[in-house]
A and B are shown apart, each in its own frame.
Chain A
Amino acid sequence: MKKIALLGMPNTGKSTLFNRMTGGAARVGNWPGVTVELLSGKILLGSDMVEIIDLPGIYDLHGFSDDEQVVRHFLHDNVPDLALVVLNTTQIERQMSLLLQLKQLDMNIVVILNMADEAKKFGITVDIDKLSALLEMPCFLLSAKYGGGYPEAVEAVTKALRYPTPGMAAELRSQLEKDELIEIEMAKVLKNTVQVPAQLSDKLTERLDSIMLHPWLGLPIFFGIMYLLFQGVFFFGQPLQGIVNDMLVWLREAALEPILSGLPQAAQGLLLDGVYNGVATVAAFVPIIVLFFLFMAMIEDSGYLSRAAFLMDALMSRLGLDGRSFVMLLMGFGCNVPALMGTRVMRSRAMRLLTMLVIPLSLCSARLQVFIFFTAALFTAQAAPLVLFTLYLFSFATAILTALLFKGKFKSTEPFVLELPPYRFPTARQMTMRGWLEVRHFLRRASKFIVAGVVIVWLLTNLPPSAAPASADTWAGIIGTALNPFFAPIGINEQLTIALIFGFIAKEIVIGALAVIYGLSGEALSGAIGVQLDWVQAYSFMLFTLLYTPCLATIATLQNESKKIGFTMLSLAWSLGLAWLVSFTFYQGARALGY
């Protein structure tokens, strides 16, 4: 199958063009020579199926950022039949250099001058025929966003694919170190073909920036937008999660239970409470992930995300992070899973890993449910909100501590020099495409792991068959007893230890697990816990719940996004160790003070 590589600088609308060409039927995959996964899609061009690969946006073919190396290695090991080079027409004088670097590789190239609509607005005119002639490559003006000029470009790509690639030199770097020639050629091409007005007048962006990046107003506006984003995701997300849950319960009661009723009790339990519950756990994340990326696409495509980086950089650079990490960290307070997936906007791998190490410490909405239950059971109505607030403080403090401790290990070597693109309207098509792609990515990569984990915990809490479920005689109970020397010093008893094993799957099921363990529910359960525990033990349990492994889905996502088992293990070990240390310090300290 013939391969088309999509190349260009960041912010050229390359991905928008990719989405338009593949219609959202893309997949992520591995390629020889590169360690990161790339998005690719197969489409029918003329009478042949061809594969389009969306390469990361780069500024310079012989640069040394992570992305620039990926592109170089990719081209080296996977010579494409055609390079589709996307340039942002409004920045053509600067972007031409990358095109000419690529031209020197003697590849089969078609040039797309994207954002033709914006360029027209700015008064930039391009003599496209003359440009094609001078470059000796077919060039097309296009608006990938709205589709103008698209059919002509596709036709040219189809035609260009019929000719074999002239061949590409293996020694990319030596070929490329001809900066001067490139500069001279660039000046010649531009002088004859492109007219750019002396001063660009994007009054709208300038006016918006003067408010959005205002020295005093900028930060409050940023927090306001973050608050709306957060509320938006969960305002719409929670009812949707409820609907998904109701549908799954209905399916279970109406269809699965009658069908499986002939099977022995244990097999029913394994299939329904193990496998089916695992599927339900996966399904519960779907609405949140779709909504999160709908909103994220809006923030990203509008150009606001780089403004957020500008505003928050003063604080975040001291933690070894940047403003985009902060956005993801905040989103983690809703749900860690999409926040971890969202770190993909960070192009430096070291900074991305550091952010991914910090996010699981954000107090997500699932953990909040556990804390609300426990604070209601053990504290007065006046004290409860204050207790919740201290847990949020612990969440922030441990996040900052983690960043400070690990920033030396995950040191970003990429220069922090970013473009601030003009504000743009995101299209509904781009937003829905993004949400859909991310959900598919999550389902494909994380679902098996999550279902397997839920089944294992079911087995632990239900075997041997003679024991009552979740009792001290089950394997989970035996593990709980064995772990007692670790948990006794932090004031956590055996029943709560079993609940923590359940909490490994998802924090949402901790309360349900306690109900099974104690054989009580609702008021009776909170009453029994209120009698059995004192506030010091309960707070220690909450601290541990806050900091230890958030949930199976988070682990699956950490592994999936980092692709490094060592990193996932580090994150697990760090959160468990930190949870124990913090709980230990609190519990023993409080006891020593006589509480």
Chain B
Amino acid sequence: MSAITLNTLLPGDVATIVSIHAEEALYLRLQALGFRSGKQIELIRKASFSGPLQVRIGTTDIMLRRIEAIKISVEK
């Protein structure tokens, strides 16, 4: 049950957000879209050619780039 980063999840994986290590602008945007520690997050799919990730938190589907996903630690 060690913490890993969001980008290492596989499609279909469900995890819990542990912490977000992002600069202020990104942090505020993530907060507003529902990224908070303790929340459940599901990885829906990854775009080909190292493209962005599609994740689901609660009722919202969100896309974010892998470099941004690295900044989010989760626990499976």
Contacts and interface: CB of A to CB of B under 8 A. Distances in A.
A63 B63 contact: no
A78 to B, nearest CB: 24
Given A63-B32, A417-B68, A200 B63 contact: no
A417 B63 contact: yes
A484 to B, nearest CB: 49
| For the complex of A and B, 4 pairs with smallest distance between CB atoms | A59-B32, A314-B51, A314-B49, A415-B26
Contacts of B65: 313, 317, 416
Interface string B21-48: 0101110111111100000000011011
B25 A310 contact: no
Given A122-B59, A196-B59, A315-B49, 16 more contacts: A59-B33, A60-B31, A62-B28, A91-B60, A94-B60, A209-B45, A216-B48, A310-B47, A310-B51, A311-B47, A314-B47, A314-B48, A415-B29, A415-B68, A416-B52, A417-B30
Nearest to B71: A415
B29 A63 contact: yes
Contacts of A200: 59
Contacts of B28: 59-60, 62-64
Interface in A36-62: 59-60, 62
A523 interface: no
Which residue, of A59, A314, A415, has the highest number of chain B Cβ atoms within 10 A?
A415
A413 interface: yes
A106 interface: no
B13 interface: no
A90 B63 contact: no
Contacts of B52: 310, 313-314, 416
A306 B48 contact: no
Given A63-B28, A94-B33, A417 B49 contact: no
B62 interface: yes
Given A213-B47, A313-B47, A314-B47, A417 B29 contact: yes
Given A60-B32, A310-B47, A418 B59 contact: no
A63 B23 CA distance: 12
Contacts of A196: 58-59
Given A63-B25, A306-B63, A416 B68 contact: yes
A420 interface: yes
Interface in A324-365: none
Nearest to A63: B28
Interface string A93-124: 11001100000000000000000000000100
A419 interface: yes
B59 to A, nearest CB: 5
A377 interface: no
Nearest to B64: A417
B54 interface: yes
A158 B54 CA distance: 42
Nearest to B57: A94
20 contacts: A60-B28, A64-B24, A64-B25, A91-B59, A94-B33, A94-B34, A94-B58, A98-B32, A122-B59, A209-B44, A215-B45, A313-B63, A314-B49, A413-B25, A414-B25, A415-B68, A417-B62, A418-B62, A418-B63, A422-B61
Nearest to A9: B32
Interface residues of A, number: 40
Nearest to A422: B61
A65 B48 contact: no
Given A60-B28, A313-B47, A313-B65, A419 B59 contact: no
B50 interface: yes
Contacts of A490: none
A7 B66 CA distance: 31
Contacts of A311: 47, 51
Which residue, of B22, B33, B51, has the highest number of chain A Cβ atoms within 10 A?
B51
B51 to A, nearest CB: 3
A419 B54 contact: no
A93 B33 CA distance: 11
A60 B61 contact: no
A422 B29 CA distance: 20
Contacts of B31: 60
A317 to B, nearest CB: 7
Contacts of B26: 415, 417
A82 interface: no
A306 B60 CA distance: 14
A579 interface: no
Nearest to A95: B32
A366 to B, nearest CB: 34
A215 B48 contact: yes
A411 to B, nearest CB: 13
A194 to B, nearest CB: 11
Contact of A420 (B30, B49, B58, B63): B63
B1 to A, nearest CB: 23
A328 to B, nearest CB: 19
Contacts of B32: 9, 59-60, 63, 94, 97-98
A93 B59 contact: yes
Nearest to A183: B36
A417 B23 CA distance: 13
A296 interface: no
Nearest to B24: A64
Contacts of B61: 419-422
B54 A213 contact: yes
B28 to A, nearest CB: 5
Contacts of B49: 314-315
A555 B30 CA distance: 38
Nearest to B45: A213
